[in-house]
Amino acid sequence: QQADLTAGHGVLRYTGLIAVSVDGGITKLLSAGFGIPVLASRLAGIAISMVAGWLAHRRFTFRLATPPTLVEFVRYAGVAWSAAAINYAVFAAILFVYPALEPLIALVLSSLVAMAAAYLGMRFAAATLLVGFYAFGIYGKLSYYPLRWSDAFFSTHSFASALSLNPVLYFA
Which amino acid type is present at position 35?
G
Each residue's pLDDT tens digit, 102-114: 999 999 999 888 8
Q: What pLDDT is stored for residue 2 in this prediction?
A: 41
Proportion of the chain above pLDDT 70, given as a percent: 62
d(CA 91, CA 2): 35
Whether residue 63 has pLDDT greater than 80: yes
Q: How confident is the model at residue 6 (pLDDT cuts 50, 70, 90)?
A: very low
Residues 6+ apart with CB under 8 A from 5: 11, 14, 60
**What angle do the packed helices 38-56 and 103-120 form, to 10 degrees?**
50
Q: What pLDDT is stored for residue 3 in this prediction?
A: 43
Q: What pLDDT is stored for residue 78 in this prediction?
A: 77
Whether residue 5 has pLDDT greater than 80: no
Measured from the Cβ of residue 42, the count of other Cβ atoms closer than 10 Å reads 27
Proportion of the chain above pLDDT 90, given as a percent: 31
Whether residue 74 has pLDDT greater than 60: yes
d(CA 77, CA 97): 29
Q: What Cα–Cα distance (Å) separates residue 59 from each residue in 78, 102, 125, 166?
A: 19, 32, 28, 43
Q: What pLDDT is stored for residue 57 in this prediction?
A: 83
Tell me which of 107 and 163 has the higher pLDDT.
107
pTM for this one?
0.61
Phi, psi of 156 (to 5 degrees): -90, -5
Tell me which of 60 and 36 has the higher pLDDT.
36
